[in-house]
Amino acid sequence: MTTIAAMEPLLPDDNKELEDLATDLVAKASGLATRLHPVLRASVGDLVRSMNCYYSNLIEGHNTLPVDIDRAMNNELATEPERRNLQLEARAHIEVQRMIDRGEGPSPVMSEAFITWTHRHFCERLPAEMLVVENPESGRKITMAPGVLRSERVRVGRHIAPDPADLPAFIKRFAEGYTSSNLSRLRKIIGVAASHHRLAWIHPFLDGNGRVARLFSHALLRELDVGSELWSVSRGLARSVDNYKTMLQAADEPRRGDLDGRGNLTLAGLTEFCRYFLSTCIDQIDFMEGLLEPSELLRRMEIWAREETAAKRLPKGSWPILRMAVLDGTFARGDAADITGYATRQARTVLNDLINQGYLISETTRSPVRLGFPASVVDRWFPRLYGEGQ
Ligand SMILES: Nc1ncnc2c1ncn2[C@@H]1O[C@H](COP(=O)(O)OP(=O)(O)O)[C@@H](O)[C@H]1O
Ligand SMILES: [Mg+2]
């Protein structure tokens, strides 16, 4: 039996630095990519969901190649079991995030219903062997039921997570504490950071807590009109993964004496974690803002298109078509002739080639086209999205 007071404090005390970070986050999030055409934003959303699953799984040591994620989304699964499992896991993550981004998850996000829904939908899509978890304490193998709170005791780092019997009470207190009507919007945004730690601390499931907590924080940011499908905090957490885990662990520590708040857990550790989490969000928005800056994006794409055309991997006339897809978001297939200045048949050949290579997407053979981002061009059009750097 653990008393729910063991999880206190839920929020840092009033803190000017955290409020400034939250204010900055709101301002930057609302400015992100407002100049992008909405249709193009939807394509970027697909790309960022792939990138988010890549990084969130990477944090757990599951390294799935972006090209394999792309293939999984096209139902091309590897025969090799390990690789195929990672592909299924990636697809599961993307599908759950897509449901969240479409507003199909339970509302409000800050609830046991949402947390178990996320776990259920993610795990239901995983191959059976990925649901088998070995308890490191007992060595016993247990098959996890999707969306069901754990019935085993677990240790996370040095922290012993709450007793299984107490999980519903902890989650209830958690949901109430972060949605109190006394909280200002800024305090709720700081609460996104704090609740990320507290959810990991509760560790509601036998496995999958990291992925669920990151999807949960994403959904919470969206609900507060700060998050969007255009950026992912997981990218930032993954790129400083040692720091992420150290900060999580530091916030698990008991209060360090009289100057460290009045709860059971360290106030300083929680404040530090919030600073880290909010700064990481801001860095990621800055990064995406830079990548999506339209004139720079067009410049990178044009250089690439020139090289590809010279190498005969792209048909002549491709660039004006791709450029139009960036600027207008979408256009009718019949417009290709006007855009290129070619005869109708020749323009159609160019268009079909671009569709076949995945640079343009069209839901049916007659519907309008929009830009696609196959894994092969992501490094050139969106450098450092996956690779080294910031
Ligand atoms: N010391 C810690 N305190 C709290 N949470 C932690 C700590 N160390 C790791 N975590 C969280 O636990 C997650 C791993 O838990 P796990 O259930 O295995 O999730 P997943 O299956 O998604 O990897 C990490 O991603 C991290 O979010
Ligand atoms: Mg795990």
Per-domain residue ranges of the chain = 4-292, 294-381
4-292: CATH topology is Fic-like fold (1.10.3290)
> Residue whose CA is closest, atom 12 of ligand 1?
210
Name the residue of 248, 266, 270 to mutate for ligand 1: max ligand atoms within 8 A of Cβ: 248
Atom nearest to 252 CA in ligand 1: 3
State whether the Cα torsion 369-372-376-378 is positive or negative.
positive
Calpha distance 142→169 (Å, rounded)? 24
The pLDDT of 258-271, averaged and rounded, is 97
Q: Which residues of 325-350 are buried (b: 16+ CB within 10 A; e: fewer)?
A: bbeebbbebebbbebbebeeebbeeb
The pLDDT of 106-119, averaged and rounded, is 98
Q: How far is CA 129 from the centre of its chain?
A: 24
Report the C-alpha dihedral over residues 100, 106, 112, 115, rounded to 10 degrees: -20
Calpha distance 231→210 (Å, rounded)? 18
pLDDT in tens, 277-292: 999 999 999 999 999 9
Ligand 1 first shell, C-beta below 6 A: 59-60, 156-157, 159, 200-201, 207-211, 213, 245, 248-249, 252
Calpha distance 91→122 (Å, rounded)? 9
Tell me the pTM: 0.96
Name the residue of 53, 60, 152, 212 to mutate for ligand 1: max ligand atoms within 8 A of Cβ: 60
Which ligand number lies closest to the CA of residue 202? 1
The pLDDT of 172-179, averaged and rounded, is 97
Per DSSP, what are the bridge partners of residue 155? 160
Residue 2 confidence (pLDDT): 74
Residue 34 confidence (pLDDT): 85
What's the 3-state SS for 37-94? CHHHHHHHHHHHHHHHHHHHHHHCCCCCCHHHHHHHHCCCCCCCHHHHHHHHHHHHHH
Phi, psi of 141 (to 5 degrees): -95, 130
Evaluate whether 329 touches 323 at the Cβ level (below 8 Å). Answer: no
Atom nearest to 203 CA in ligand 1: 17
Residue 200 confidence (pLDDT): 98
Q: How far is CA 147 from the centre of its chain?
A: 20
3-class secondary-structure state, position 215: helix
Please report which residue ranges of the chain form alpha helices under DSSP H.
16-31, 38-59, 66-73, 81-101, 112-124, 167-177, 185-202, 209-223, 233-239, 241-251, 267-292, 294-310, 318-328, 336-340, 344-356, 375-381
Is the domain 294-381 a CATH 1.10.10 member?
Answer: yes
Integer angstrom CA distances of residue 160 from 155, 163, 200, 241: 4, 9, 11, 21
Q: Is the pLDDT of residue 389 over 50?
A: no
Calpha distance 59→26 (Å, rounded)? 26
Nearest by Cα to 287 from 383, 175, 152, 185: 383
Q: How far is CA 51 from the centre of its chain?
A: 7
pLDDT in tens, 134-171: 987 778 899 999 999 999 999 999 999 999 999 999 99
Cα of first residue to Cα of last residue in the chain, in angstroms, is 44
Residue 138 confidence (pLDDT): 77
